[in-house]
Amino acid sequence: IHDKDGLPKIILTEPTGSSAEVLLYGGQVISWKNERREELLFMSSKAFWKPPKAIRGGIPVCFPQFGNLGSLEQHGFARNRMWSLDNDPSPLPPANNQSSVDLVLKSTEEDLKTSPRGFELRLRICLSAGKLTLIPRVRNVDSKSFSFTFALRNYLSVSDISEVRVEGLETLDYLDNLMRKERFTEQADAITFDGEMDRVYLSTPTKIAIIDHEKKRTFELRKDGMPDSVVWNPWDKKAKAMPDLGDEDYKTMLCVDSAAIETPIILKPFEEWKGRQELSTVSSSYCSGQ
Ligand code: BG6
């Protein structure tokens, strides 16, 4: 564990040379580099690195509320709290050449007054060659049922947002946050970007591809237990209005999230929910040769 701006940080490495950095603050992955030491996640040039602000970039955890759908602060409180190393993690299946860390956020006395009351939120982060896997779990440790919405917000680093294509969301229904959350059906063959986008795609397939032409890199997002996927880019005007985002930063970022939003997850006392996402990269030439 190292320190960055006073924030405790864990560094994961694996034999081919890729690495990931994780903060206890927010349980947030803030860096993932491939074996050529190229950064794969976006981090804002103007990110605030001070609690209680959330950090603009990496993979923030949105819990127990995505967006402003409930009474809590936007995207919930998990991204603004100090997590701990989990001393009681579930067993890790044996795997070669993989490094991992288990984090936990437990409800405070104060949380017991409001839903979701007593909870334990765990996050396992595993790094292996070319792949970053995140496994979130939420356990109800209360005597009452509760419900929550959830997202792993993946800020992906792209070379030029105007050249990016997202495949796997065509023909799906989505809720458009820019149109009062109205429901639409996607008509395009692939999602491309020429302005602000803020959509919750519903019941998506387990695999989504984010194709970054210029860098000839394709991200593959595979997910379980998180049926929805948010696609967000603030574009120029909104970027300018955000104090923790550089004016030009919107060109090199794209959020494609793994989420459970439309149907909140309901947990009875002592029940546990588990999700999983795998982010991997393949070069475009490999893809087109399939
Ligand atoms: C999106 C919201 O999901 O997240 C936007 O629909 C919001 O309204 C964006 O601007 C980023 O949210 P935040 O809280 O990280 O600034």
| Cα angle value 111/114/115 (rounded, 5°) | 100
Q: Is 199 in the pocket of ligand 1 (CB under 6 A)?
A: no
Q: Is 66 in the pocket of ligand 1 (CB under 6 A)?
A: no
Burial class (CB in 10 A: 0-12, 13-18, 19+), 63: buried
Where do the domains of the chain lie, and which CATH numbers do they carry?
Answer: 7-91+98-288 (2.70.98.10)
**Ligand 1: distance of its center to the CA of 169 in Å?**
20
Contact (CB, 8 A) for 282 and 71 = no
pLDDT digits (tens, 9 = 90+) for 23-37: 999 999 999 999 999
Q: Is 198 in the pocket of ligand 1 (CB under 6 A)?
A: yes
Of 275, 7, 54, nearest to 151 by C-alpha is 275
**Ligand 1: distance of its center to the CA of 233 in Å?**
9
Q: How far apart are CA 236 and CA 108, in angstroms?
A: 39
What is the number of residues in the chain? 290
- Which numbered atom of ligand 1 lies nearest the CA of 234? 10
- Which numbered atom of ligand 1 lies nearest the CA of 54? 15
Q: How far apart are CA 278 and CA 290, in angstroms?
A: 20
How remote is the C-alpha of 87 from its chain's centroid? 23
Contact (CB, 8 A) for 83 and 167 = no
Q: Is 177 in the pocket of ligand 1 (CB under 6 A)?
A: yes
Best of 61, 176, 198 for a ligand 1 pocket test (most atoms within 8 Å of beta carbon): 198
Residue ranges in the chain whose pLDDT is less than 70: 1-4, 283-290
Q: Is 75 in the pocket of ligand 1 (CB under 6 A)?
A: yes
Contact (CB, 8 A) for 105 and 81 = yes
Q: Is 60 in the pocket of ligand 1 (CB under 6 A)?
A: no
Neighbours of 113 (CB within 10 A): 8
Q: How far apart are CA 2 and CA 83, in angstroms?
A: 15
pLDDT digits (tens, 9 = 90+) for 1-18: 655 578 999 999 999 999
Q: Which pTM does this prediction carry? A: 0.95
How is residue 239 written in tokens? 């970027």
Neighbours of 14 (CB within 10 A): 20
Q: Residue 269 contacts by C-beta under 8 Å, 6 or more apart in sequence?
A: 140, 141, 142, 143, 144, 145
Quick one: CA torsion of 12, 81, 208, 222, rounded to 10 degrees? 50
| Amino acid present at 119 | F
Burial class (CB in 10 A: 0-12, 13-18, 19+), 199: buried
Could you give phi then psi for residue 14, rounded to 5 degrees?
Answer: -145, 165
Best of 75, 179, 240 for a ligand 1 pocket test (most atoms within 8 Å of beta carbon): 75
How is residue 51 written in tokens? 């609690």
**Ligand 1: distance of its center to the CA of 232 in Å?**
8
Q: Supply the ipTM of this predicted assembly.
A: 0.98
List 211's β-bridge partners, or say none.
Answer: 165, 218
Best of 43, 72, 74, 79 for a ligand 1 pocket test (most atoms within 8 Å of beta carbon): 74
What does the DSSP 8-state code read for residue 110? G
Q: Whose CA is nearest to atom 3 of ligand 1?
A: 67
Q: How far apart are CA 193 and CA 202, in angstroms?
A: 19
Contact (CB, 8 A) for 63 and 81 = no
- Which numbered atom of ligand 1 lies nearest the CA of 60? 15
